[in-house]
Amino acid sequence: MSEQVRQESVGVQTGETLVDVNGLKTYYDDGGIIDSNPVKAVDGVDFEIKRGETLGLVGESGCGKTTLGRTLIQLEDATAGEVLFDGTDVTELSGTELKNWRRNSQMVFQDPESSLNDRMTVGEIIREPLDVHDWETPQERRERVRELLDVVGLQPEHYYRYPHQFSGGQRQRIGIARALALEPEFVVLDEPVSALDVSVQAQILNLLEDLQDEFGLTYLFIAHDLSVVRHICDRVAVMYLGNVMELGETEEMFANPKNPYTHSLLSAIPEPDPTADKERVTLRGTPPSPRDPPAGCPFTTRCPMKIRPEKYEDIDPDLWVAIEVFREVLRERARAEKSLTEIAKEKLGMETRFSDIDEIRTELFGDLDVPSRVREHVEVAANHVEQNDEHAAREYLADEFGSICDAEDPSMHVVSDTGRTSNCHRHLPDYQEPDEFTPYTER
Ligand code: SF4
């Protein structure tokens, strides 16, 4: 929304912080029998949201976006850190205080098909938060619902209909009306248009923008569709494995991403012109389990720009990928949730799937020209594996081929005049980006 419109409509000071998030963590401990590590869905994030702005939150599915959104409005308990709303840490609220504060922050859910109770009329659905908070008189609540129907572009006669009588777009309008019933300041929009047809998406996005202008709303807009984010968000936070990797003004970031993960993510946006010369970065593998994120940078196991030890800076990119994959295979196997049968087999000294190191070595290095200064280290690690000491193999490879990316959690660095921040060691003077970007190919 334009700054002018925002100021005129709600008379707020632009730039004023509404939500201030510091060191926020949300862990789930689901009591697994074999692996008792908690799932680190949100793993220490810091950011703020200005009053009246739309902050986008993007990243692959499972990166922690929705958990973060839910934690901000206290639908999930924070494990650590604070969420300050106008200076009040809402993670500390409980009972009546929490209930009263909840009026101020609401959520619109992704799936309008399942987020509305089909046994309630539209009027009852929208009125429910007013009833829960004992808002004014019953008659005033009914009037408020009629007003909200109008605000979101529905008709008065829709009051007595049921959700199944509506299209997806109309159902999302009902969800939005319900979220706005108590006049919140802050709304988490969790993939609000991704279940809708493209033409309906545009209508709902326009509605959200109009409502923001009219009521001075502040949005956290969670999405995986980057073109939608580009359209609607003032700033964007890019998440990976529970961490914010880059945060800054939308247009600037889309035009010139600074973090390797943002670069990969944005390179996957389809070009309207298929002949346009655009380099697409293919990331190998999948993100690691949030139950066992890597030490160091969260993106270290897949990063195409990972910092190498100086003595290996000159080796062939394909060979470097093979070394990285070799390390990742050993790491994956260490953390794999083994079945009870596998554990029993190990305990009984029977042969398990951990015996195929030769196959892995051939697969990864067989077609490559491997200089002896690399081969000797791969051999030592393979020998450790053969002797059933995978831990020693992993440690050996980490000592030989590891870098700051494996060992140290990067911190946020300011990377532009507008205050954009990026979570990457490449911004340190010693590790500036290489001139030539050599993305990994898929193996
Ligand atoms: S810190 Fe290293 S692994 Fe992480 S994004 Fe930067 S270059 Fe890649």
* 8 has a pLDDT exceeding 60: no
Distance 49 CA to ligand 1 centre (A): 26
Residue, of 272 and 431, whose pLDDT is higher: 431
Q: Structure pTM? A: 0.87
- Percent above pLDDT 90 for the chain: 71
- What does the domain layout of the chain look like in residue ranges? 3-233, 310-402
Distance 282 CA to ligand 1 centre (A): 16
Q: What is the pLDDT of residues 195-251, one digit of tens each?
A: 899 989 999 999 999 999 999 999 999 998 999 999 999 999 999 999 999 999 999
Whether ligand 1 lies within 6 angstroms of the CB of 307 is answered as yes
* 437 has a pLDDT exceeding 50: no
pLDDT score, position 443: 35
Q: Kindly report which listed range (30-44, 81-95, 156-170, 258-272) carries the lowest average pLDDT score.
A: 30-44
* 2 has a pLDDT exceeding 50: no
What is the C-alpha to C-alpha distance for residues 301 and 64, in angstroms, rounded to an integer?
Answer: 18
pLDDT score, position 406: 95
Q: How confident is the model at residue 374 (pLDDT cuts 50, 70, 90)?
A: very high
pLDDT score, position 292: 87
Atom of ligand 1 nearest to the CA of 260: 5
Contact 153, 174 (CB under 8 A): no
* 299 has a pLDDT exceeding 50: yes
Whether ligand 1 lies within 6 angstroms of the CB of 253 is answered as no
* 358 has a pLDDT exceeding 90: no
- Calculate mean pLDDT across residues 245-262: 96
Q: Kindly report which listed range (6-10, 18-22, 147-151, 253-257) carries the lowest average pLDDT score.
A: 6-10
C-alpha distances out from residue 234 to 218, 237, 251, 342, 431, Å: 11, 10, 8, 50, 30
Residue, of 386 and 381, whose pLDDT is higher: 381
Distance 428 CA to ligand 1 centre (A): 11
Nearest CA to ligand 1 atom 7: 306
Q: What is the pLDDT of residues 30-78, one digit of tens each?
A: 655 555 789 999 999 999 999 999 999 999 999 999 999 999 999 999 9
Distance 365 CA to ligand 1 centre (A): 24
Whether ligand 1 lies within 6 angstroms of the CB of 426 is answered as yes
Nearest CA to ligand 1 atom 3: 300
Nearest CA to ligand 1 atom 6: 424
pLDDT score, position 82: 97
pLDDT score, position 363: 83
Whether ligand 1 lies within 6 angstroms of the CB of 303 is answered as yes
Q: What is the pLDDT of residues 74-121, one digit of tens each?
A: 999 999 999 999 999 999 999 999 999 999 999 999 887 788 999 999
- Calculate mean pLDDT across residues 356-370: 86
Distance 134 CA to ligand 1 centre (A): 51
pLDDT score, position 280: 77
Whether ligand 1 lies within 6 angstroms of the CB of 425 is answered as yes
Q: What is the mean pLDDT of the chain?
A: 87
Distance 314 CA to ligand 1 centre (A): 18
* 167 has a pLDDT exceeding 60: yes
Whether ligand 1 lies within 6 angstroms of the CB of 297 is answered as yes
pLDDT score, position 373: 95
pLDDT score, position 3: 43
Residues β-bridged to residue 89: 84
Q: How confident is the model at residue 389 (pLDDT cuts 50, 70, 90)?
A: confident
Contact 426, 433 (CB under 8 A): yes
Q: What is the CATH number of domain 3-233?
A: 3.40.50.300
Whether ligand 1 lies within 6 angstroms of the CB of 326 is answered as no
Q: What is the pLDDT of residues 393-414, one digit of tens each?
A: 999 999 999 999 999 999 999 9
Of the residues 243, 265, 300, 440, which should be mutated to test ligand 1's pocket, given the most ligand atoms within 8 Å of the CB? 300
Whether ligand 1 lies within 6 angstroms of the CB of 299 is answered as yes
Whether ligand 1 lies within 6 angstroms of the CB of 242 is answered as no
